[in-house]
Structure 1
Amino acid sequence: MASLCLNSLPMSPSSHPRKLTDSSLSSLSSAVAFTNGSAGEGAVKPIVVNGTPPTVVSAPGRRIIAVGDLHGDLDQARRALQIGGVLSSDGEDLWTGEDTVLIQLGDVLDRGEDEIAILSLLRSLDIQAKAEGGAVFQINGNHETMNVEGDFRYVEPGAFDECAGFLEYLNGNKYDWEEAFVGWHGVSKRWKGDRKMSANWGPWNLVERQKGVIARSVLFRPGGPLACELARHSVVLKVNDWVFCHGGLLPHHVEYGIERMNMEVSYWMRGLSETDGSPHIPFIATRGYDSVVWNRLYSRDVSDLEVYQIDQTQAILEETLQVLGAKGMVVGHTPQYSGANCEYNCSIWRIDVGMSSGVLNSRPEVK
Structure 2
Amino acid sequence: MPRLSTWTLSVLPLLVLSVAYLAQSYISPLGPAPHLGFGLRWYGITFSSLVGHAQALVMSPFHALSKAQLALSGVAVDAAADVDPRPKFKRRIVAVGDIHGDLLNAHRVLQMARVVDEDGLWTGEVDVFVQTGDIIDRGDDTIALYEWLEELREQAHGMGGIMISLLGNHEWMNAIGKPAEYVFPSEVETFGSISKRQRAVTTGWLANIWASNYTTAARLPLHALLGPPNTDYPPPEDSQYQRANAGPLSHAAFSFVHGGLAPSYPNLQPFPSAINNISASLFHRLRSRDPQPPPHPPHAYPGLPAGTTREEARLYGSDGPLWYRGWAEEGDEARLCAQADQVLQKTGTRRMVMGHTPNLHSIVAKCGGKVLIIDTGISHAYGGVLSALSVEYTLEPVDGGGWREQEVVKALYADQDDELLAHATRDLAENELF
**Percent of aligned pairs with the same residue?**
31
Q: 2:360 aligns with which of 323, 332, 337?
A: 337
8 A Cα contact 2:219 2:272, kept in partner: no
| Partner AA of 1:245 in structure 2 | V
Q: Does 1:262 align with 2:292?
A: no
Partner of 1:355: 378
Do residues 284 (structure 1) and 314 (structure 2) align? yes
Task: Note the C-alpha offset of 1:99.
Answer: 5.0
Separation (CA, whole Å) in 1 of partners of 2:360 and 2:104 = 20
Could you tell me which residue of structure 1 aligns to residue 337 of structure 2? Answer: 314
In 2, Cα distance between the equivalents of 1:159 and 1:140?
Answer: 20
What RMSD in Å do the two structures reach over aligned CA positions?
Answer: 2.6
Shifted more, 236-245 versus 336-345: the winner is 336-345
- Name the CA shift for 1:80/1:322 in 2 (closer, same or farther; >3 Å): same
Match of 1:243 in 2: 255
CA deviations on 1:143-191 (whole Å, 9 max, x unpaired) are 0000001114211112211222xxxxxxxxxxxxxxxxxxxxxxxxxxx
Which of the numbers 155, 163, 170 marks the counterpart of 1:143? 170
1:192-235 CA distance string (max 9 Å, x none): xxxxxxxxxxxxxxxxxxxx2101111112x3321121123111
Counterpart in the other structure of 1:101: 128
Aligned pair partner of 1:86 in 98, 112, 115 = 115
Cα distance between partner residues in 1 of 2:141 and 2:289? 36
The count of aligned residue pairs is: 255
> CA–CA distance in 2 between the matches of 1:272 and 1:356?
28
Higher RCO (CA 8 Å, separation ≥ 6 residues)? 1
Q: Which of the pair is proportionally richer in strand?
A: 2
**1:119 Cα deviation (Å)?**
1.4
| Matches of 1:121 and 1:161, distance apart in 2 | 19
Asked if 2 retains the 8 angstrom alpha-carbon contact of 1:333 and 1:352, the reply is yes
Query: Are 1:159 and 2:139 counterparts?
Result: no
Q: Distance in 2 between matches of 1:249 and 1:284?
A: 12
* Structure 1 residues 274 and 319, CA gap change in structure 2 (3 angstroms): farther
Gaps of 5+ in 1: 6-41, 46-59, 165-211
For 2:289 and 2:166, how far apart are their aligned partners in 1?
Answer: 27
2:351 aligned partner: 328
Question: TM-score normalized by structure 2?
Answer: 0.55
- Report which of the two structures shows the higher radius of gyration computed on alpha carbons: 2
Change in Cα spacing, 1:231 to 1:279, as seen in structure 2 (3 Å) is farther
**Residues 242 and 314 of structure 1: is their aligned pair in 2 closer, same or farther, counting only changes over 3 Å?**
same
Listed as ranges, the matches of 1:106-121 within 5 Å are 106-121=133-148
CA distance change for structure 1 residues 336 and 273 in 2, over 3 Å: closer, same or farther?
Answer: closer
1:253 aligns with 2:267: yes
How far apart, in 1, do the equivalents of 2:284 and 2:204 lie? 7
Q: Deviations over 1:230-261 (max 9, x none)?
A: 12311110001000111111242304863132
Displacement, 1:341? 2.4
Residues 214, 310 of structure 1: CA spacing in aligned structure 2 closer, same or farther, 3 A cutoff? same
Question: Which sections of structure 2, spanning at least 5 residues, go unmatched?
Answer: 1-26, 28-63, 70-88, 222-252, 291-304, 390-434
